[in-house]
Structure 1
Amino acid sequence: MNYETSVKAEEIGADFDSEARARRRRALIIGGIVVALALALAFVMFGRKSGQPAPVAAQGSKAQAPEVTVIKPGRELVASTVSATGTLAARVDMPVGVVGEGGMVTQVLVQPGAWVRAGQTLAVIERSVQVQQSASLQAQINVARANARLAEQELARSQQLAGRGFVSRADIDRKLATRDQAAAQVRVAEAQYRESLARTGRLDIRAPAAGLILTRSVEPGQVVGSGSGTLFRLAKGGEMEMRAAMAEADLSAVHVGGTATVTPVGSNQSFNGQVWQVSPVIDPQTRQGMARIALSYNPALRPGGFAQAEVVTGQMNAPLLPETAVLSDQNGSYVYIIDGDQKAQRRPVKTGQVTDKGIAILDGLTGEERVVLSAGAFLNPGETVKPRLTAFGR
């Protein structure tokens, strides 16, 4: 019994020693791992502070560089324009009033918006008195013609008798004078009759030229005369124009024959026109002059309306950029370009004409730079990026 007990005790002691050794090995292994992690962390932290970037960190930074879309704008011809505002009007606005003695209006034959031909009757004035006067003058013509025939016949008889010696030469001269006087009275009566017809005809208010009726300010029953003013306004040929007010500097760049685009206020439709007159004077108070832009007729062009015009003054060769590429702050307009080291650099620019294709750059770019198309506001000068070239306006 004692022998077995001692053997079992030795076995239990051996097991206890092996288990203790295993625990010590695990503790040493765990301690080594902790020390290794601490050394690695210290190396990373102190290595960055001393300016020695870790390779893994550098690879992570490169992977995090933002990708930006860039364009090469190149150069192209851009129309230089001048913007102006003004009013629409008839190119030739013709007032129509009473030409004759006037009277009571019996008929108005046209409405605003009607097209009329030259000489067409617009309104009729009552003429009963004038008609009777014309009839009286026509009767006087008949009387004068009868007297002229009688004088001609008497002259012929006297000339026959003079050949026989029964009538003196003095009587012949008197008969001849009477015949001529009667013929002259016929001509006077005819002239008076034609004058009466002309006066009666002037009672009709007629269109002085073919065109479009703009306004009407007369009604049947209204008594009109030479002091009644304008009864109708007519746009000759229906031609319209825009009277664009421009600053002195802008007006100096505008020339007769230049093209323009006119957009009435409240309309999405634009109309092509041509400058046909540039004001030779400048208003001393407003320091503005006027450019008159001829326009073809269109119902959307209403005289008296307000409109905006873009007048072409010439052409220039410049880079074009979309609006998203051009930024601005208190220092002015600028763009971001990507240099050869793939870094974003701020470049100040001078902008010009804004067109449907983009913004013309007058100064600051050659057109061969890689310009950030959008998201420039989120970049910092010197920041490394990954550019992706795309096409714009091509």
Structure 2
Amino acid sequence: MRAMRTLFVAGSLLALSACGNERNAAELPPLPALATITIQEANSDQGRAWDGVVEAIQRADLSAQTTGRAVGVDADVNDRVAAGAVLLRLSAVEQQAGVNVARAQLHAADAAASEAEATVARYTALAAKQLVSRLQIDQLRATRDRAVAARDAARAQLLQAEQQTDYTVVRAPFAGLVSARHVEPGESIVAGQPLMSVYAPGALRIQVQVPQSEADAIGVLKRAQVVLADGRAIAAAAFTVYPAADAAGHSVTVRVVLPELTDPPRPGATAKVMFAIPGVGGVVRIPSSALVQRGEISGTYVLDGNRLFLRQLRLGVHAGEQVEVLAGLKGGERVAADPVAALQALAAQRTAAGKASD
């Protein structure tokens, strides 16, 4: 591997030297015999492609809605859980104490309201006999209304306290797969702290950003193709073109829904979405074996007369042993079929040139 890297660097330096010495190109010794490939532009039957990321349609990031200590973690990453299954349990000492206080306050408020209603009933009977004034009746009714309102408030506080207790048990919102766990048993939890993430693996989609100039052409199409990271090409179940463009990037979002797959990709995996846009042609493809890869940079050796130089490429979709070239090559150019042989031929040419100059 170290030798290959040395050859790559040497070849790059030789290629740069050849590119910058056009005036002496005719004086270079002939290159050794080298197998080449003539680039041909083909009409695209796939159209254009854009990169996207697979994401789950149904996904939930669960966070704590109350404080406590994690007393039990019942699910872990990659566990399949049913809807309503218990994922995490928090201590509920404070919450249960709040329920007890709220229940006691409700009992007291209920007793006060019952007493006020009974008093109003007795004084109403006396008022019929004109034994009490209307003012007293109005005052007693106001007292009764306040007592009833206090009882309703106490009942609402009890419901709120019971809800806080329910928050100590975290359940799965739907059937799915646990994708992340952010808490350990015994850990202190505060409200708002992330706990777990769950997603439904059967429903997946991809969102890509396309130029606004292509959005209308994509909108009239009826199908799209998705190429997954493992090379599988599948037909999209449906796609939606957003009606508005992003003001900053001048792009339009296209949401592509994947069909149900027996081996679905993982959320977060990269994928390419291809649209058969009418009028797209001039697609250049070369064999993957003709590529030179250096980290994130891809290139190939291009033959121009008696000169051989390394040119950087921008690549598109990989399809089998072929790869699409988005920029860097055009039809009619010749490239070396074997990068190692091209590097050796370039070194031999430079060596011969050095001897001739001596």
Q: TM-score, normalised by structure 2?
A: 0.54
Equivalent residue, structure 2, for 1:259 = 223
Equivalent residue, structure 1, for 2:161 = 196
CA distance in structure 2 between the aligned counterparts of 1:86 and 1:190, rounded to whole angstroms:
51
Equivalent residue, structure 2, for 1:18 = none
Given the alignment, which residue of 65, 78, 82 partners 2:48? 82
CA distance in structure 2 between the aligned counterparts of 1:168 and 1:185, rounded to whole angstroms:
26
Cα offset for 1:193? 0.8
Equivalent residue, structure 1, for 2:91 = 126
Check the 8 A contact 1:260/1:275 in 2, yes or no. yes
Is 1:276 the counterpart of 2:252 in the alignment?
A: no
- Which structure has the larger Rg? 1
Give the percent of matched residue pairs that are identical in Structure 1 and Structure 2: 24
**Which residues of structure 1 form unaligned runs of 5+?**
1-76, 317-322, 324-328, 332-352, 357-394
Equivalent residue, structure 2, for 1:232 = 196
Is 1:97 the counterpart of 2:63 in the alignment?
A: yes
CA distance in structure 2 between the aligned counterparts of 1:216 and 1:257, rounded to whole angstroms:
41
CA distance in structure 2 between the aligned counterparts of 1:162 and 1:354, rounded to whole angstroms:
94
For the residue of structure 1 that corresponds to 2:277, the secondary structure is: strand
Is 1:215 the counterpart of 2:180 in the alignment?
A: yes
CA distance in structure 1 between the aligned counterparts of 2:191 and 2:156, rounded to whole angstroms:
24
CA distance in structure 2 between the aligned counterparts of 1:256 and 1:123, rounded to whole angstroms:
47
Equivalent residue, structure 1, for 2:108 = 143
**Which residues of structure 2 form unaligned runs of 5+?**
1-42, 281-286, 288-301, 305-316, 321-358
Equivalent residue, structure 2, for 1:154 = 119
Q: How does 1:155-170 map to 2 (within 5 A)?
A: 155-170=120-135
* Amino acid across the alignment from 1:89: E
Relative CO higher for 1 or 2, CA cutoff 8 Å, sep ≥ 6?
2
1:182-228: CA deviations, max 9, x gaps?
22221121111112122222333345566543322222222222352
* Amino acid across the alignment from 1:231: L
For the residue of structure 2 that corresponds to 1:300, the secondary structure is: coil
For the residue of structure 2 that corresponds to 1:158, the secondary structure is: helix
> What's the RMSD between the two structures over aligned residues?
4.5
CA distance in structure 2 between the aligned counterparts of 1:184 and 1:282, rounded to whole angstroms:
52
CA distance in structure 2 between the aligned counterparts of 1:84 and 1:223, rounded to whole angstroms:
44
CA distance in structure 2 between the aligned counterparts of 1:157 and 1:283, rounded to whole angstroms:
74
Equivalent residue, structure 2, for 1:184 = 149
Cα offset for 1:252? 7.3
Check the 8 A contact 2:241/2:252 in 1, yes or no. no
Cα offset for 1:301? 0.6
CA distance in structure 2 between the aligned counterparts of 1:101 and 1:257, rounded to whole angstroms:
49
Task: Provide closer, same or farther for how the CA distance between residues 152 and 194 of structure 1 changes in structure 2, counting only shifts above 3 A.
Answer: same
Q: How does 1:1-394 map to 2 (within 5 A)?
A: 79-91=45-57, 93-98=59-64, 100-114=65-79, 121-207=86-172, 211-228=176-193, 230-235=194-199, 238-244=202-208, 254-255=218-219, 258-265=222-229, 267=230, 269-273=232-236, 274-277=238-241, 280-281=245-246, 291-298=254-261, 299-314=263-278
Cα offset for 1:131? 1.0
1:238-275: CA deviations, max 9, x gaps?
4222345668887775337642333333x354332143
1:278-336: CA deviations, max 9, x gaps?
6934986xx987654321354431122233444333599xxxxxx9xxxxx989xxxxx
For the residue of structure 1 that corresponds to 2:224, the secondary structure is: strand
CA distance in structure 1 between the aligned counterparts of 2:221 and 2:201, rounded to whole angstroms:
20
Check the 8 A contact 2:226/2:274 in 1, yes or no. yes
Equivalent residue, structure 2, for 1:388 = none
Task: Provide closer, same or farther for how the CA distance between residues 114 and 260 of structure 1 changes in structure 2, counting only shifts above 3 A.
Answer: farther
Moved over 6 A (4+): 245-252, 287-290, 353-356
